[in-house]
Structure 1
């Protein structure tokens, strides 16, 4: 009988401990606010998928050039980066090396750097020699047109008659850089 009493007390203590830990987790989760939709990264826009037509957009690059859907060559890469994003900072050297090795020069890649101009200086400085660079605020015209609200994001685009998206938000730069 003593063993049964001890087992019941032990189970009771474990249940109280579990309840306290659950309450702690709930309080911590409330600090982060409500969760967004699970189907879309970032703030809830549905990202472009391979095979979808690239929406029309225009923007002015930091060098003054007008860029848009019609100015993208076949196979162009569009990269979206934010300076306050740790994965973006980590991916920047790989992206610069990829763009530098890409035949066709700066016009083969459009880099959209999202943030305040003073925050974006490093990204602009490193990307400008190898890509067309557009700086815009979060939710700016290029991000809105191409439905990007999570960073980093990359799109490979075909310039055939309908400018379709060839590959979606995660382009494997190492695989893409392999000899073609």
Structure 2
């Protein structure tokens, strides 16, 4: 069987080579669109026992997740400075309510755990209005420019921001992998 297959491939080698080249070209063109069809999220399997347990807890206790953490810092002011407090509180107050369902900070909770030990930094915990991973990543993109507090530096973290960064990096890596692997495969096939 393999002998007859080998003879047929040898006899029709130019046709086989042309078909292989056409397959590589068409596969490469079709494969460049793969990132457009990927959905964000998927870090947990929705039918797993841990996902079921998470849903039971959320139903019983409510969603208790902080989606975004924003760290505000000043080298010159402390969190006790009224200008520092006003900058953070005004920024949080002006966030769109359709994107952020709740927030917690040093001043709303009066918890000193929100302040750094040197008192030059504090963080704000934001809960987003959606629990869908894809929508949360879109919200992070929308909120990013609105999180700037005058006179302070900010750093954004939390699960939603990390998911967005991972998704962006995976997209870049897929593009790079395709750009490298397709020419290599083409050379190997020719």
Q: TM-score interval w.r.t. the shorter chain?
A: under 0.3
Greater percentage in strand: 1
Greater percentage in helix: 2
TM-score (normalised: structure 2): 0.24
When Rg is computed on C-alpha atoms for both structures, the one with the higher figure is 2
